[in-house]
Amino acid sequence: MDSQARVGMWMLIAVTAVFALGEAGLAAINLLAGRFSAMQAGRIVLTVWLTWSVWNGAGWARWLCAALAMAGAILAFVAGFGSGAADGRPEVLLIVCVIIAIYLGIAVMLASPGVGAYQEWRRGERSS
Question: What does the pLDDT look like over 26-43, one tens digit per residue?
Answer: 889 988 998 888 888 898
The pTM of this model reads 0.83
Instruction: Tell me if 109 is assigned to some domain.
Output: yes
Instruction: Tell me if 32 is assigned to some domain.
Output: yes
The structural domain count of the chain equals: 1
Backbone Cα Rg of the chain: 17
Q: What is the mean pLDDT of residues 114-124?
A: 91
pLDDT given at position 35? 86
Average pLDDT, the chain: 90
Instruction: Tell me if 40 is assigned to some domain.
Output: yes
CA distance 43 to 32: 18
Instruction: Tell me if 76 is assigned to some domain.
Output: yes
Q: What percent of the chain has pLDDT over 70?
A: 98
Instruction: Tell me if 128 is assigned to some domain.
Output: no
Instruction: Tell me if 30 is assigned to some domain.
Output: yes
Encode 17-38: b = buried (16+ Cβ within 10 Å), e = exposed: ebbeeebeeeeeeeeeeeeeee
Instruction: Tell me if 52 is assigned to some domain.
Output: yes
Instruction: Tell me if 20 is assigned to some domain.
Output: yes
Cβ atoms within 10 Å of 74's Cβ, excluding its own:
13
Residue 119's domain comprises: 3-123
